[in-house]
Structure 1
Amino acid sequence: MFDIVLLCVFAFAAGLIDAAVGGGGLIQIPALFNVLPSAQPAALLGTNKVAAACGTAFAARSFVRKVVIDWSLVVPAAGAAFVMAFAGAATVSIVPQALMRPAVLVLIMLMAIYTFWKKDFGSLHKPMHIGTKEKLLAVLVGGAIGFYDGLFGPGTGSFLIFLFIRCFAFDFLHASASAKLVNIATNVAALLFFIPSGNVLYLVALPMALFNILGALTGTWLAVRKGVPFVRALFLVLLVILISKLSYDLILQG
């Protein structure tokens, strides 16, 4: 019971952070592996995905009610993400994970530098006209991030937020809301593997899902209430944490 309570605390924190800027897996996955060290890794990842998917769904629902969503971009991006998440998962055994970490670390460092130095990045919401070119770009963005999520995963939400701002001139709040909707597609793709294969610890996953939802609702409320400056600051903090985590993992591998 103590383990479940502890995991619920982490699930709440993960839901809160993930709703605003992504990166909830940085909190929830290490918590599961540390609190339940004897469980199978696949079962822990499936348990994490159930809780995270529930929180993401409720965060997306809250954002949709409070933020205007550009569905002409989000729908093709989500569709491509769903398909490519399967492709990414299928190539996990082919692409060495040891090659992924340094490449992703460099990309996240570049994202952090760009966001920090470009002070107006994501501060204004001036979306471009959506035509065929922009929809195709949305498919490329969703497909690339969906593939990455299936293949590796860390920082998926942050990559989506950055690309929605950089490619479509969204502000941080609208980019975060759009990223949540695309995340739903990748979560569903993952659940279609984990649930049928029996890789979910439901006695742990269900209470964690409840607290992840509570955290997600809190994170959404904070993002909408505090606005773009809060989300931008939180985004930069998360990127620093991601950089630290990936650097630490590389040092351990070395």
Structure 2
Amino acid sequence: MDFLFADISLWVYLALFCVALVAGIIDAIAGGGGLITVPALLAAGLSPAEALATNKLQGCAGTLSASYHFVRKGQVKLSDMILPITMTAIGSVLGTILVSYIDSRLLLKAVPIILIGVAIFFLFLPKVQPYIASKVVLSNTQFALIIGTSIGFYDGLIGPGTGAFFSTAYLCFMGLSIISATAHTKVLNATSNLASLIMFTFTGHIVWMLGIAMGIGQWIGAQIGSQLVITKGSKLIRPLVIFMCLAMSIKLLMDA
């Protein structure tokens, strides 16, 4: 089912465009933009399946926008990310396929605890970063096979906190700075979103016109957010990551 302008008023389109723009800014910096956009899509009258599928469409625009910005600014070299991108895409496709066959509710119950752990990690990041940087334990190939596949699978299967998990993995296992970790995270997040979106196109649940309208807002917001990442750095990223991780945890616990 697809909505035309006759089914949803122009004011709703404009409101969701603005929501997506704000979500794009936040998502580019700390992740968790879906915490804003999915409830907004549900409030607009979409079914849960339509909201999730349409959210992938507009979310892809945001993560691709941020990725483009980081690559253009030299924060990421795509030639070094071919294998991580490939394995993340494979993991995301597998997770999206298996979502109908696996009871993801059990996994979802553990997510808030993990997100709280991520928030605590970022809270103490200045103290532990020097130690972490000296303890890089994964090569690029190992990172792609282990982290890319597993988190990509998680994003296709469940999704909340994917950006925070990728960022934490890059900080812990690759020794990147917080800005570089955020930049590399966006590329892999865009990969898993795009792979999952391709699978969603076969379900018929994407509301294309609404998703495209929100996608434009996401693209603009992500450009703003990714610029703030480079100019403001950890002063902006750390508190927002902590806030978004705790917000996602509270939301998931309330839903449970």
Q: Normalised by the size of structure 2, how large is the TM-score?
A: 0.88
Match of 2:201 in 1: 195
Q: Answer yes or no: is 1:142 the counterpart of 2:151.
A: no
Quick one: which amino acid aligns to residue 166 of structure 1?
Answer: C
Q: 1:167 to 1:8 in 2, by over 3 A?
A: same
Q: CA deviation at 1:44?
A: 2.3
Asked if 2 retains the 8 angstrom alpha-carbon contact of 1:77 and 1:140, the reply is no
| 1:95 maps to which of 87, 98, 102 | 102
Superposition RMSD on alpha carbons, in Å? 2.4
1:212 aligns with 2:218: yes
Aligned length: 247
CA distance in 1, matches of 2:32, 2:12: 22
Shift in alpha-carbon separation, 1:200–1:122, aligned structure 2, 3 A: farther
Residue 233 of structure 2, aligned match among 223, 227, 232: 227
Deviations 1:181-235 (A, max 9, x none): 1112112211212224432212211211111111101101111111122111211
* TM-aligned CA deviation for residue 121 of structure 1: 4.5
* Residue in 2 that maps onto 1:29: 38
What 5-or-longer segments of structure 1 have no aligned partner? none
Q: How far, CA to CA, are the matches of 2:21 and 2:134 in structure 1?
A: 32
Query: Cα distance 1:166–1:249, how it changes in 2: closer, same or farther (>3 A)?
Result: same
SS, match of residue 119 in structure 1: helix
Q: Which 4+ residue blocks in structure 1 deviate beyond 6 angstroms?
A: 127-131
Name structure 2 gaps, 5 residues minimum: 1-9
Query: Which residue of 113, 118, 121 corresponds with 1:106?
Result: 113
Matched residue type, 1:77: P
**What is the deviation of 1:24?**
1.0
- Alpha-carbon distance between aligned partners in 2 of 1:247 and 1:180, rounded to the nearest angstrom: 26
- Map 1:149-164 to 2 at 5 A: 149-164=155-170
Per-residue deviation, 1:70: 5.1
**8 Å Cα contact 2:88/2:144 also seen in 1:** no
Given that 2:93 and 2:199 are in contact with CA atoms closer than 8 Å, whether structure 1 keeps it comes out as no
Structure 1 distance, partners of 2:97, 2:215, is 26
Partner of 1:116: 123
- Counterpart residue type for residue 65 of structure 2: F
TM-score normalised per structure 1: 0.88
Output the amino acid matched with 1:232.
R
